[in-house]
Structure 1
Amino acid sequence: MQVLKFGGTSVGSAKAIEQVCHILKQYKPAGQYAIVVSALGGITDKLIRCGQLAEKGQEAYKEVLQEIEARHLDTIRELFPITAQSSQISQLKKKLNALENLCDGIFQVAELSPRTLDKIMSYGELMSCVIVAEKLKQQGFSASCKDSRELIVTDQQFGHATVNFVTTNHNIAQFFAQNTSDYVVLPGFVAATADGETTTLGRGGSDYTASIIAAAVNASALDIWTDVSGMMTADPRMVSQAIPISHISYVEAMELSHFGAKVIYPPTIQPVMSKRIPIWIKNTFAPEDHGTLIQDNEERSLPVTGISGIQHIALLTLEGSGMVGIPGFSKRLFESLLRERINVILITQSSSEHSITVGIHEADMLKAKTAVDSEFGQEILEKRIEPLQVEKDLCIVAVVGDNMKNHHGTSGKLFGTLGRNGINVRAIAQGSTEKNISAVINKSDIRKALNVMHETFFETPLKQINLFIAGVGNVGSKLLEQLQQQEHYLRNELGLQVRVIGLANSKHTLVAETGIVLDDWRTQLASGAHLSTDDFVQQIKALNLRNSVFVDNTASADIAAVYHEFLQHGISVVTCNKIACSSDYAYYKKLKDLARKYNASFLFETNVGAGLPVINTLNDLIRSGDKVHSIEAVLSGSLNFVFNHFVNGTSFRQVVKAAQDEGYTEPDPRIDLSGKDVMRKILILARESGAAIEMDEITNYSFLPGACLDAPSVADFYETLDVHAGHFQGLREAAAAEGKRLKFVARYEDGKASVGLQSVGVDHPFYKLEGKDNIVLYSTSRYKDQPLIVKGAGAGADVTASGIFADIIRSARL
């Protein structure tokens, strides 16, 4: 004998019921079939709504009853020819009349007891059962209908009754031994007490009904037909990359169902597991799909079979020095929860016996707080223990797998993954069988947690990186171009799927959780929202995507001022904006500390030397134990370009304007020419060397006359360059007379830093520095006779974008 269960969506419409008949025709004759059906999809919720409205004295319950009636009448009229409808409608009307009388009574007394609610809810299955049985008969099946309440006997715990298996198994075995129909259709979910009062087996209880019947008759298989193709490695609504699980053990399925996998009702597995009856989970609407087979475990290579999560969890913590070494505290805690019928989902206790923590459903937390504080009232009064601590807005995520016990490092991999993504673990539980590792986290992190866990255990080798980019001018647009160009390489060579989720410029923001199509990003951004910096930051934090990186291509102080919000939320920051790292030392230090604390990357290689490995080289020296004695550098590509092209016959104004036109200077060239930009860069290098130095401690030997610096506008500034042309010409001629060249040099030595224009001779490494190149000389304990030199293009959108790109990749691989 086989038992088949069809869920609410599988019998949710006339078309779906016809599909059920089609599926049953594919089964080869193999004795009897028990067909367990749920109510038509959504009907149970409407029935509950009827009772609730009636209890509140709201006549709207009558409208809901009419909706229920119309739904069933429409289904009958679509399924059956007119000549066969009258008997169906007559049976339906009898049940609906009884239901209406029941609701009218609730309306009159304004009370809805659990017993009455069970009776109301039972009508969904009772009505669908008759419809499905009659349709099978019409299709030529030898079919009959049997009320499950005449077979399954329970206690009087209405709403979630406990089955009396001795009586129930006898009733079921006796009935099927005497039954002559090939197909028996039974309503799921419903049962009855020994006195005949209607009870229910809990929401999802139709699965349980089918399992009870299968175990009682020693069925060859239990097939559960639903609207998904089996169990998945994760909830596909949360994890889009979830994949079907073809085979799974009874214990694994039970663990996953308890931890939120809604494909199968948790109690379903126990009755058939004891009889080793296999369970197939199949898709009614894609019957050719393999589905999931639940049976005894078979050898698998992967340690984890699936991941899952439970939302709306509260943690209860009982602690106090008075608990240490005193037996009975745990017993009293659990008994106080038992008296209130509060289900404990997770338990963890410190080895010091100083505290015990349990997880419960959030809806029960106030009831639990009252019960536990009452139970331990005397100890709390005597200050031997603390009042019960309650934390809400939590959830549980879990990895499940029979094979975890044979693989070292599964726990480490799990918690390392969560930690790297800034997800704080509040409590941990692991069974001694090592089939389940559970962690309690903030419920706002559940989507991110499930995705990074799935990525870690199921999605090798691709790692998804989610970018939010502020600033899409010269550098930003080049970065997007490079990301698009390198997409194939990143996937195939580095195992990275880099998605641009957010873009922002000074006017618009664009956010797309599934990724922005880079072919048309300009058009999309132009029609984006008008959001402030704070709004954009909040949007990024609210999305809470795994492996998030914020990229700042601006020179905005406002954006630099919010880096800490990203880092303390576990979001990495990559920036070419020098403001944050050259601001107050306290803020620079705070950002570095936050990055370490929350396992986020804070990378700013392009702050100095654009795409040159200036900062990384310095970091490598320091980390390996070297000590920096001095740094000498030409750090402004724009200034180097200016002085390399400031030759006889060319005015200083012409050269500066040419540098601006080439994009080598800021829109206001004074930022470069004043030396302020170079001051920031040498400040950053000094700090990365270990110096706690501030900007105002750097000496600036400016070559610009005060009138040039104080000009009211950029246009006026250019006019002052003409006025002071002789000054600049004198600087050039003085250097040329000595056979030297002008270079704007930054220096750090003995804890002091300075910047200024210098004349360097032919024997100096800076003399032959051409174009917009930068050069840095590191004199260290290891490189004291011959300094370590880093040299190359130090300005330009392409090289700066490539440096940012490299930092993004570095952040992904740390």
Structure 2
Amino acid sequence: MQVLKFGGTSVGTAEAILRVIDIVSEKISKEPVIIVVSAFGGTTDALLQCGSLAAGGNELYKEHVGHITTRHLDAVRQLIPVQQQSSMLSAVKKLCNEVEDLCNGIFLLGETTARTKDKLVSYGELISSLVITAAFQAKSVPATWWDSRKLIRTNGEFGNATVDFALTNEQFSLELQSLSTPLVVMPGFIASDTEGITTTLGRGGSDYTAAIAAAAVKASSLEIWTDVSGMMTADPRWVLNARVIPAISYQEAMELSHFGAKVIYPPTIQPVMNLHIPVWIKNTFAPGDAGTVIQNESYRNGNPVRGISSISNLALLSLEGSGMVGVPGFSRRLFEALAAHQINVILITQGSSEHSICVGVDATAADKAKMAVDAAFAPEISLRKVEPLIVEKDLSIVALVGEQMKSHPGISGKMFGSLGRNGVNVRAIAQGSSERNISAVIATRDVRKAINLLHEEFFEKTYKQINLFITGVGNVGGRLLQQLAQQQQFLLQHMRLQLRVVGLANSKRYLINEEGIDLLSWKAAMDHGVEGNITSFTDDIIQRNLRNTVFVDVTASEEVARAYPKLLEKSIAVVACNKIACSSPYSYYRELKNKSHEFNTSFLFETNVGAGLPVIGTLNDLLKSGDRIHSIEAVLSGTLNFVFNNYDGSRPFAEVVRQAQDEGYTEPDPRLDLSGVDVMRKIMILARETGEHLEMESISNNSFLPASCMNGSVDDFYNEMLKQEAHFRSIFDAAAANGCKLKFVATYNEGKASVGLQQIAPGHDLYHLYGKDNIVLFKTDRYPLQPLVIKGAGAGADVTASGVFADILRATLN
């Protein structure tokens, strides 16, 4: 004999019930079947609402009872031929009248009890099971209806009654003796005590009913039919790539169901486990899917983790005090106080110092727990040996479950490393001695991110998802988006990285799409973005709390640079093309570096110096490997190098600068480049990366621009340069007379930095530098005579964007 259970969604409509009839009809051709059915989907909640309205004196309960009645009568009319409907319509109407009578009594009393609630909600399963039995009979399938209240005996604990298995098994045995049909239909969820008073087995108790029946009749198998194709590696509503677990042990299934897996009610496993009855989780709406089998042996598939689950609405209770150390009995008294008030403990952890005990309970019981524990320890609290119970709410448990975890070292390290890298703070940890689960208490706001992170870490070997938020979609930002679009497939295929741009912002508006922004039509999409500034954009990023988040700043905005700390504090990696943050006062630069270390995330700014050249990365590699920097000599402005490589006196200096701007090598205001301020920032950043505490005012600047060029607008600047052409020509002629080229050089030597225009002789390393190229020379302990040279294009949107892209990839490896 088989036992099948069909949940509320499986019997929620007439169409669904017809599907159930097809499934069961195929089964009974092979062996007898007992089916256990839930109430029609949503009916239990509707009945409870009727009781609540009635208890509150609200006569709307009558209207709600009417809706329930209509729904079930309609089901009868759809499932049973007209000539056979009369008796079932009468039976349904009679039971619905009883519901209304019960609610009338509640309305008159103005209150309801646990016993009354059990009576009220029992009608959902009673009506559905009778209608489904009649539907089978109407399809010429012989079926017998058994009343679960006469078979399953419990104590009088209404709402969550305890089963008397000896008496229950005896009742089933007697009923089987007179069975004459191949099919039995039973209502789930409901039972009765020894006096015949209706009790219930807890929400989700229809699964438990089926397991009780399977154990009582020693079924060949138990099948739980629901609306998913088996137990999943994680909640599919949260994890898009959750997959079906083909097979799982009884113990693993109990762990997963205890920690929130909704597919199966936790007590279900116990009755069938002792008899080694396999349990199948199947999908009513996809009956051909294999489903999940729960059996005695763990399924070995090379992955020690079987699934990830969670419990929300948790409160953490902490009992602390110096008076607890070395004194026996504190734990016992704590648990006795909680047990005396029927407060279930979900998780336990205790510090080895014996100074504190933490337990997790349902948040709805937290206030009651505090009163109970504070009363139990009132003498110690008054003497300050123990602190009043500390209650923390808005917490959840995330749990890894797997029978094989005990034989695989490093599981905990991977779990907590993944959470830590993404700023998920772990408030408490518990691991059973069986090592079958590892549980972490975290903030409820982090649960979705945590489950996705862990699923990615343990199940998604195909790729790692990176969520990019980019501010600044001008010249460089636009090229970066082109490069990302071009390389997305390559990175997915060769590096297992799924780079998704989920946020874009400019100075006026921003756009966020958690499914990813189409990089071929982002400009049109930006037109439909929301109005907002960098504050609202970063607040939205933090609020969404996505995993593996990287914030990319491709602006020159001080306001954006000031947003970095709050992002780093949330373990959001920051990639900065913007030089303002690292060239701000040293205290701010140091704050950002410290926050990056403290919150275990990346703060990368390679393009601050040399655009796409690996200048900062090489410098850091030298330092990390134990080298010491003696001096840095560099041409760090692609703009100035372009200008002086193209100025030969044959055309005005202003015209060459204009060409540089038109070709995209300068800042919007070219004075930032020509004044040497931008080069000062770059050499300061390099000096700071060596460990030097350097400020802008400490750097000497031998500027070649006349002071008058710095006044007025950009147009005034160009006009003034034309007036000063003789000055620029004289600088060029002096260098040419000496056989030298003009280069704007930055130097750093043993703590001192300077920038300025220099005449470079042919034998110097800086002489052969053309176009917009940059060059950096490092002299170190290892390179004392012949410097380490980095040379290449130091300006241009494409190379700068590629440098930002490289930093994004580095950030993904953190």
TM-score, with normalisation over the residues of structure 1?
A: 0.99
Deviation of the 1:213 alpha carbon:
0.7
Q: Which residue of 2 aligns with 1:94?
A: 94
- Aligned residue identity for 1:455: E
Contact 2:641 2:771 in 1 (8 A): yes
**Matching of residues 47-66 of structure 1 within 5 Å:** 47-66=47-66
**Matching of residues 639-658 of structure 1 within 5 Å:** 639-658=640-659
Q: Which residue of 2 aligns with 1:571?
A: 572
Q: Which residue of 2 aligns with 1:601?
A: 602
- Distance in structure 2 (CA, Å) of the matches to 1:261 and 1:285: 20
Contact 2:81 2:138 in 1 (8 A): no
- Distance in structure 1 (CA, Å) of the matches to 2:364 and 2:710: 66
Q: Which residue of 2 aligns with 1:454?
A: 455
Deviation of the 1:90 alpha carbon:
0.2
Q: Which residue of 1 aligns with 2:338?
A: 337
Q: Which residue of 2 aligns with 1:473?
A: 474
**Quick one: structure 1 residues 31 and 771, their matched pair in 2 at CA, closer, same or farther if it must change by over 3 Å?**
closer
Contact 2:80 2:134 in 1 (8 A): no
- Distance in structure 2 (CA, Å) of the matches to 1:624 and 1:282: 57
Q: Which residue of 2 aligns with 1:249?
A: 249
Deviation of the 1:648 alpha carbon:
2.4
Question: What do the CA deviations read for 1:370-422 (whole angstroms, capped 9, x no partner)?
Answer: 11011000001111111111111111101100011111111111111111111
Q: Which residue of 1 aligns with 2:151?
A: 151
Q: Is 1:702 equivalent to 2:703 in the alignment?
A: yes
Deviation of the 1:290 alpha carbon:
0.5
Contact 1:323 1:329 in 2 (8 A): yes
Deviation of the 1:326 alpha carbon:
1.2
Q: What is the total number of aligned residue pairs between the two structures? A: 813
Q: Is 1:726 equivalent to 2:702 in the alignment?
A: no
Q: Which residue of 1 aligns with 2:39?
A: 39
- Aligned residue identity for 1:306: G
Q: Which residue of 2 aligns with 1:437?
A: 438
Deviation of the 1:28 alpha carbon:
4.9
- Aligned residue identity for 1:495: R
Q: Is 1:389 equivalent to 2:424 in the alignment?
A: no
- Distance in structure 1 (CA, Å) of the matches to 2:64 and 2:777: 81
Deviation of the 1:29 alpha carbon:
3.0
Question: What do the CA deviations read for 1:225-280 (whole angstroms, capped 9, x no partner)?
Answer: 10110100000011111001110110011000010100000000100001100001
Between 176-185 and 624-633, the greater mean CA deviation after superposition: 176-185
- Aligned residue identity for 1:40: F
Deviation of the 1:132 alpha carbon:
0.3
- Aligned residue identity for 1:780: T
Question: What do the CA deviations read for 1:495-538 (whole angstroms, capped 9, x no partner)?
Answer: 11111110111232110011111121111112211112111101
- Aligned residue identity for 1:709: M
Deviation of the 1:136 alpha carbon:
0.6
Question: What do the CA deviations read for 1:93-129 (whole angstroms, capped 9, x no partner)?
Answer: 1101111011001101101111101111000000001
- Distance in structure 1 (CA, Å) of the matches to 2:511 and 2:228: 34
- Any idea what SS the aligned residue of 2:404 has? helix
- Distance in structure 1 (CA, Å) of the matches to 2:123 and 2:698: 82
- Distance in structure 1 (CA, Å) of the matches to 2:300 and 2:659: 71
Contact 1:300 1:403 in 2 (8 A): no
- Distance in structure 2 (CA, Å) of the matches to 1:783 and 1:302: 49
- Aligned residue identity for 1:159: G
Contact 1:154 1:161 in 2 (8 A): yes
**Matching of residues 171-182 of structure 1 within 5 Å:** 171-182=171-182
- Distance in structure 1 (CA, Å) of the matches to 2:164 and 2:645: 94
Contact 1:37 1:187 in 2 (8 A): yes
Q: Which residue of 2 aligns with 1:628?
A: 629
- Distance in structure 2 (CA, Å) of the matches to 1:638 and 1:131: 83
**RMSD (Å), alpha carbons:** 0.9
Deviation of the 1:726 alpha carbon:
1.1
Q: Which residue of 1 aligns with 2:309?
A: 308
Deviation of the 1:485 alpha carbon:
1.0
Contact 1:151 1:172 in 2 (8 A): yes
Deviation of the 1:446 alpha carbon:
0.6
Q: Which residue of 2 aligns with 1:685?
A: 686
Question: What do the CA deviations read for 1:673-708 (whole angstroms, capped 9, x no partner)?
Answer: 111111110110000010011112111111111111
**Matching of residues 530-549 of structure 1 within 5 Å:** 530-549=531-550
Moved over 4 A (4+): none
Between 26-35 and 360-369, the greater mean CA deviation after superposition: 26-35
- Distance in structure 2 (CA, Å) of the matches to 1:473 and 1:162: 67
- Distance in structure 2 (CA, Å) of the matches to 1:39 and 1:409: 45
Contact 2:20 2:284 in 1 (8 A): yes
- Distance in structure 1 (CA, Å) of the matches to 2:281 and 2:442: 30
Deviation of the 1:30 alpha carbon:
4.1
Contact 2:28 2:182 in 1 (8 A): no
- Aligned residue identity for 2:806: A
- Distance in structure 1 (CA, Å) of the matches to 2:461 and 2:789: 39
- Any idea what SS the aligned residue of 1:402 has? coil
- Aligned residue identity for 1:457: F
Question: What do the CA deviations read for 1:173-204 (whole angstroms, capped 9, x no partner)?
Answer: 21122222221111000011111111111110
- Aligned residue identity for 1:790: I
Q: Which residue of 2 aligns with 1:237?
A: 237
Q: Which residue of 2 aligns with 1:506?
A: 507
Q: Which residue of 2 aligns with 1:421?
A: 422
- Aligned residue identity for 1:348: T
Q: Which residue of 1 aligns with 2:672?
A: 671
**Matching of residues 728-743 of structure 1 within 5 Å:** 728-743=728-743
- Any idea what SS the aligned residue of 1:565 has? helix
- Distance in structure 2 (CA, Å) of the matches to 1:806 and 1:324: 53
- Distance in structure 1 (CA, Å) of the matches to 2:703 and 2:625: 36
- Distance in structure 2 (CA, Å) of the matches to 1:701 and 1:602: 32
Could you list the runs of 5+ residues in structure 1 that have no partner in the other structure?
Answer: none
- Distance in structure 2 (CA, Å) of the matches to 1:319 and 1:574: 43
- Distance in structure 2 (CA, Å) of the matches to 1:487 and 1:111: 62
- Distance in structure 1 (CA, Å) of the matches to 2:379 and 2:693: 55
Q: Is 1:486 equivalent to 2:487 in the alignment?
A: yes
Contact 1:380 1:387 in 2 (8 A): yes
Q: Which residue of 1 aligns with 2:126?
A: 126
- Aligned residue identity for 1:419: G
- Aligned residue identity for 1:197: I
- Distance in structure 2 (CA, Å) of the matches to 1:505 and 1:597: 29
Q: Which residue of 2 aligns with 1:377?
A: 378
Q: Is 1:525 equivalent to 2:534 in the alignment?
A: no
The alignment-based identity, stated in percent, is 59
- Aligned residue identity for 2:190: V
Deviation of the 1:766 alpha carbon:
1.0
Q: Which residue of 2 aligns with 1:406?
A: 407
**Matching of residues 194-213 of structure 1 within 5 Å:** 194-213=194-213
- Distance in structure 2 (CA, Å) of the matches to 1:212 and 1:8: 19
- Aligned residue identity for 2:48: I
Deviation of the 1:596 alpha carbon:
1.0
- Aligned residue identity for 2:666: T
- Distance in structure 1 (CA, Å) of the matches to 2:19 and 2:529: 45
- Any idea what SS the aligned residue of 1:721 has? helix
Q: Is 1:361 equivalent to 2:372 in the alignment?
A: no
- Distance in structure 1 (CA, Å) of the matches to 2:239 and 2:117: 36
Deviation of the 1:165 alpha carbon:
1.2
Q: Which residue of 2 aligns with 1:294?
A: 294
Contact 2:507 2:533 in 1 (8 A): no
Q: Which residue of 2 aligns with 1:792?
A: 792
- Any idea what SS the aligned residue of 1:27 has? helix
Contact 1:470 1:552 in 2 (8 A): yes
